[in-house]
């Protein structure tokens, strides 16, 4: 048999060409990065597609709840991404179903469009959505150089002037009582179920410092949304381990660096700064989030547009909570 000798240099060049082509293919994946999703019916989502060692991975926020790793993600073709996520549904004490929802996502320019499908209560669930690439994260701001405008009192202590229900078809559990904004979403004794809503400021804001006091009874839960996008968690979590779902956290995104909450039923202070999409939280005088980037919206966000002004909104559908001395000071640029 006649053997052909191929110079080693040629083999190396060929291997390099194949490697470069593979790298270019990976770099050409048009879905890599972070995407804000606007979901049919008013919901907001967030998709982060990443690649490590040649394998695709993704995180997904879908309307409410937390940012979670997906079950699977792959390219069906150069312009179609398929993402699946799974959840457990307990049907009885001895039976749990695994529910799978599938997103088929198509890309055009810097925009996405797609459909989420999966099992619903009355057949197949389907929801359309659009998406846009998230803008680049600014550099960490120098908080010592910020200039502030005049403080704005968001609650006058006597009534809900300046606030409104986000969904006028829901019930409002918030009332003004002796200088305190109290939310008490109780259900009537006659068995009729009331759907309680969130309230928002009529005014919208850009970057700011927000100071307030909050009192959370035992076992209760609320949240303060910055620009209607980022939830700072309000919950009775005294004595529990650090977690991105506990008091003062940027919900499911940033875990406090230390536990600073007080026992349930005590008044607590929050000092929150949002500037250039970076968040600082001082809870009861202790800095628990230090100028950290907010990479995307949290569950329950009003919009995926992280550059637009938005309101302060207070979660009113989760439990009893009281607020007072709510003062916002705009940051001037």
3-state secondary structure of 52: strand
| 16 located within any domain | no
Predicted confidence (pLDDT) per residue in 224-244, tens digit: 999 999 999 999 999 999 999
Do 218 and 267 share a domain, yes or no? yes
The number of angstroms, rounded, from the C-alpha of 212 to the middle of its chain's C-alpha atoms is 21
- Flag whether pLDDT at 127 surpasses 50: yes
Measured CA to CA, the distance from residue 81 to residue 113 in angstroms comes to: 11
| 10 located within any domain | no
Do 117 and 150 share a domain, yes or no? no
- Flag whether pLDDT at 135 surpasses 60: yes
- Flag whether pLDDT at 6 surpasses 60: no
Structure-model confidence comparison of residues 59 and 27, the more confident one: 59
pLDDT at 28: 65
Residue 68 burial (10 A CB sphere; 0-12, 13-18, 19+): middle
Do 159 and 259 share a domain, yes or no? yes
DSSP 109: T
Do 104 and 159 share a domain, yes or no? no
* Lowest-confidence pick of 6-20, 107-121, 193-207, 238-252: 6-20
Do 71 and 190 share a domain, yes or no? no
Do 217 and 281 share a domain, yes or no? yes
pLDDT at 7: 52
Predicted confidence (pLDDT) per residue in 268-300, tens digit: 999 999 999 999 999 999 999 999 999 999 999
In which domain, by residue range, is 320 found? 143-332
Predicted confidence (pLDDT) per residue in 94-122, tens digit: 888 899 999 999 998 889 999 999 998 78
Do 112 and 49 share a domain, yes or no? yes
User: Cβ distance 197 to 165 under 8 Å?
Assistant: yes
Question: How many structural domains does the chain have?
Answer: 2
Of 89, 105, 133, the position where a domain reaches its end is: 133
Q: What is the CATH number of the domain that holds 191?
A: 2.60.120.560
User: Cβ distance 152 to 327 under 8 Å?
Assistant: yes
Do 127 and 216 share a domain, yes or no? no
Do 244 and 324 share a domain, yes or no? yes
pTM: 0.89
DSSP codes, 150-217: --EES--SSS-TTEEESSTTSBP-EEEETTEEEE--PPPTTSPPP-B--EEESS-BSSEEEEEEEE--
- CA-to-CA dists, residue 249 to 140, 170, 208, 308, angstroms: 19, 27, 18, 22
């Amino acid at each position: 048999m006649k053997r052909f000798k191929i110079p080693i240099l040629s083999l190396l060049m060929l291997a390099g060409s194949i490697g470069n082509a593979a790298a270019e293919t990976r770099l050409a994946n048009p879905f890599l990065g972070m995407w804000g999703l606007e979901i049919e019916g008013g919901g907001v989502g967030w998709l982060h597609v990443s690649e490590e060692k040649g394998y695709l991975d993704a995180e997904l926020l879908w309307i409410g709840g937390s940012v979670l790793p997906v079950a699977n993600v792959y390219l069906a073709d150069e312009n179609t991404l398929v993402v699946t996520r799974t959840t457990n549904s307990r049907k009885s004490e001895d039976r749990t179903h695994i529910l799978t929802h599938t997103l088929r996502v198509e890309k055009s320019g810097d925009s996405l469009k797609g459909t989420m499908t999966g099992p619903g209560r009355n057949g197949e669930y389907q929801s359309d959505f659009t998406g846009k690439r998230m803008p680049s994260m600014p550099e960490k701001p120098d908080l010592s150089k910020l200039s502030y405008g005049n403080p704005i009192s968001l609650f006058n202590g006597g009534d809900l002037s300046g606030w409104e229900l986000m969904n006028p078809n829901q019930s409002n559990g918030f009332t003004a009582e002796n200088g305190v904004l109290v939310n008490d979403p109780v259900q009537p004794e006659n068995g009729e179920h009331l759907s309680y809503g969130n309230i928002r400021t009529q005014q919208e804001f850009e970057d700011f410092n927000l100071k307030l006091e909050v009192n959370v009874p035992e076992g209760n839960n609320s949240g303060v949304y910055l620009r209607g996008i980022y939830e700072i968690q309000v919950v009775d979590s005294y004595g529990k381990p650090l977690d991105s779902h506990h008091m003062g956290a940027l919900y499911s995104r940033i875990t406090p660096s230390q536990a600073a909450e007080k026992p349930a039923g005590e008044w607590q202070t929050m000092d929150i700064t949002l500037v250039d999409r970076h968040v600082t939280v001082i809870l009861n005088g202790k800095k628990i989030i230090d100028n950290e980037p907010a990479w995307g919206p949290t569950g329950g966000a009003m919009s995926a547009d992280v550059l637009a002004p938005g309101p302060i909104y207070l979660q009113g559908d989760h439990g009893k909570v009281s607020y007072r001395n709510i003062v916002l000071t705009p940051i001037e640029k």
